[in-house]
Amino acid sequence: MPTDCIPTLFDFAPVEGRKVVANFDGGAITSDAGGLLLGATDKVLGLTRRLAACFKDHRDPDLIEHRLETLLTQRITAIALGYEDLIDHDQLRHDPIMAVLAGKLTASRSDCAPVAGKSTLNRLELSKAQPTRYAKIAADTTAIENLFVDLFLDAHAAAPEEIILDLDATDDPLHGHQEGRFFHGYYDCYCYLPLYIFCGRHLLAAKLRPANIDACAGALEEAIRVVARIRTRWPRTRIILRADSGFCRDTLMAWAEGNTVDYLFGLARNKRLVAAIGAELQQAWLEAEATGKPARRFKELIWRTRKSWSCKRRVVAKAEWTEGKANPRFVVTSLPVEEIEAKRLYEDVYCARGQAENRIKECQLDLFADRTSAATMAAKQLRRWFSSFAYVLLCGLRRIGLAQTQFARASCGTIRLKLLKIGALVRISVRRVVFAMASGCPWRAEFALAHAALRRAAA
């Protein structure tokens, strides 16, 4: 319904002598028709259905308009479609694509839309372990955490011989005096310090933490939980933990060594380590001076710190000279030298850790995991999980529906822009809901391939 402050007709510059005008009178039109692919992916994964089982709904079923699964579907798919704020849902609840994705075309009450608005969804995000008078939906946080691992396991038809779990921490800048707010010297801002665990593109854990802690704080507990759940299904799969020097702690390495888990961690350099590769740095400098190009050498060390390590461990050193200065780097690992030599260990295995940082960027930039405007840490954690499930949903679409297309390795933001943001006229009849999508969409072929692949996977 147009308001008095909004003109009913917009005039633009004429083209070939014809007036160009626009108006908001197109009727039932959506700009997110590609979201139908998200709905099909959700049916294959059973994501929102399984997530709903992680909550206890204590509302009176005779008095509610929006079921729990409807609320979860609405919130997660909206994030995947690019709507980060709860307030967006006061308009989205009238969008036909949201109604179709939620499986609810009409409301039972005349004063309600088919899907929920911001206030109802806000009560969902305020879920606690025990229901309250105003927040009667209780979240089982342990079940939610385990669901990420279960979805990862279900994504594989057979147990792989080996997997690498990437652990990483990142900053989540804060604005205002929020709960758990601390200044972090490295990031030079007030922030949170969330912990992520990935296996390739699969997200296995997303833990919100304050910033007044060591980067490795809580990593051991998360690794124990994730590894134990993986081994219940894949007892023979080899597991390798990989992380930067912030996770190089004796407690984590000692646990891995005692539980047949391998590791590959960065190791912060110091004077003793640099001195141990002095000859190799000299050789790299001479080669760089002669060729004018960066040069590197690798060296094996059996190393033990003076106080912090409980035993000697294998350390691989990279002695590099680049841009006119030394650039030594070190990693510590439980992988034996006879299995993988130093150069390949560093360049092919350890350096691949950088891909986990790209996954974090997708979660935080494309899917708004850094949106921390809720009042409590518990609500912020639940909101981060919703964003993380939106990531899992888009990864499922990429893995199942887009494997044979040019978007097989595309980022979540690219998939949204190219395949989800499609305009369509929606016609609803007694027997059908028809989305007449834009004829000029340049990605029609990829959409068709994704639809066919998802249909096969659901069969």
Cα 142 to Cα 54, 81, 155, 164: the distances in Å are: 8, 27, 21, 23
Nearest to 428, CA basis, from 60, 119, 13, 30: 30
Given pLDDT bands bounded at 50, 70 and 90, which one contains residue 1?
A: very low
Given pLDDT bands bounded at 50, 70 and 90, which one contains residue 372?
A: confident
pLDDT digits (tens, 9 = 90+) for 299-346: 999 999 999 999 999 999 999 999 999 999 999 999 999 999 999 999
pLDDT digits (tens, 9 = 90+) for 209-265: 999 999 999 999 999 999 999 999 999 999 999 999 999 999 999 999 999 999 999
| Residue 449 contacts residue 109 (beta carbons within 8 Å) | no
pLDDT above 90 as % of the chain: 86
User: Which pLDDT does position 170 carry in this prediction?
Assistant: 95
Q: How far apart are CA 127 and CA 72, in angstroms?
A: 12
Whether residue 5 is predicted with pLDDT greater than 80 in this model: the reply is: no
Q: What values do phi and psi take at 373, rounded to 5?
A: -90, 0
User: Which pLDDT does position 6 carry in this prediction?
Assistant: 58
Q: How far apart are CA 310 and CA 294, in angstroms?
A: 36
Q: How far apart are CA 60 and CA 128, in angstroms?
A: 18
| CB-neighbour burial class of residue 15 (10 A; exposed 0-12, middle 13-18, buried 19+) | exposed
- Per-residue pLDDT, averaged over 411-432, amounts to 95
75 vs 5, residue with greater confidence: 75
* Helix, strand, coil share of the chain (percent; to 5): 40, 20, 40
Q: How far apart are CA 169 and CA 239, in angstroms?
A: 20
Q: Which residues pair with 253 in a beta bridge?
A: none
Q: How far apart are CA 224 and CA 221, in angstroms?
A: 5
Q: How far apart are CA 123 and CA 266, in angstroms?
A: 43
